[in-house]
A and B are shown apart, each in its own frame.
Chain A
């Protein structure tokens, strides 16, 4: 088993929690992990990404080589396209459809969506709305994790366990809300991934 994952978004959108949850789930499965993330300057509302690699064999590089990521998981549509050179030919592009606009020259959203829709293997999901539907508006990042989960060889139970570990400190209610967000995101992808 081997998965090379690129996570992307804007500083402060919570891609670190997605990465931490996947890494925890992988660790519980006795898999090898390398997860590189961005700290410092670019965190202030700038573009941020993380390379997450999991495998049943030891992993050499902390960075994913170009053209070899299995999946890009993005909490922001424009950011999902920034790391395309890393995606492999048959890789999946899984992204939130709701933009985070903090620059004056943000591109036309319809154009962005149509760029994303060009990919045969894409999931474009309104994670913000789904998070609101499950009454956890802050969990759109975990909705995205749920949406990506069918493409990762890690069981749903493993993800649930990982969420319990990562969010446990914040109380049972937060754990419950995040698990619902996970399920809702997953459900969306399971129903949409066959329709091309």
Chain B
């Protein structure tokens, strides 16, 4: 009997492979997939397993993923080369509601690997620049060696206002940014909430501080969007692993409007 098996992934060929930092790389896949910024795909290496990875590009012609090597699947993907294939299924989840952001300015705040899905927003905005007002980008990394998307950073700086910081600079590396926490840069900049949306992606502790700062600047909770990360298996709201109390990170998220999850004890 023919059935529609949603769990079966399809092969995707790697057409570009870029080492971004010591433990992070980007791959470009020969896949045309309609998606929203902030959505993710499930990536499989048969025999090893499957991992949720955010789509970090916005293009009709290809899909870009930025991956940090932290365990079995991500290590196995890192060992692939250009022209190799992996298996993917998706796109899944609720990404950023870009239609609702139209005619607004956007403040983008990212930390470390969290910058990846935000890159998708930047690329989306760049394809329809006149739909949006000002784009402020605040990104923080641990050290200059951890800075991701160095190639794209130049054009971001040309088109938008980029504020970059690193927590520390032990090797005294030259880089175009400040030493300190990205939250400090955010605090110091003067903008208010009028006609503005803020999107945050990064470690939970950073999200917590950033939300506080934004609220001090007058942002309402429904003007703030955050991403959540949880253990994922199915990606489609069945397996239960990604639950944040009653919300499914994979299906209700991974992008949440802050007021939707702020009262969850497990947020």
A binds B: no
What is the interface of chain A, defined by CB distance below 8 A to chain B? none
What is the interface of chain B, defined by CB distance below 8 A to chain A? none
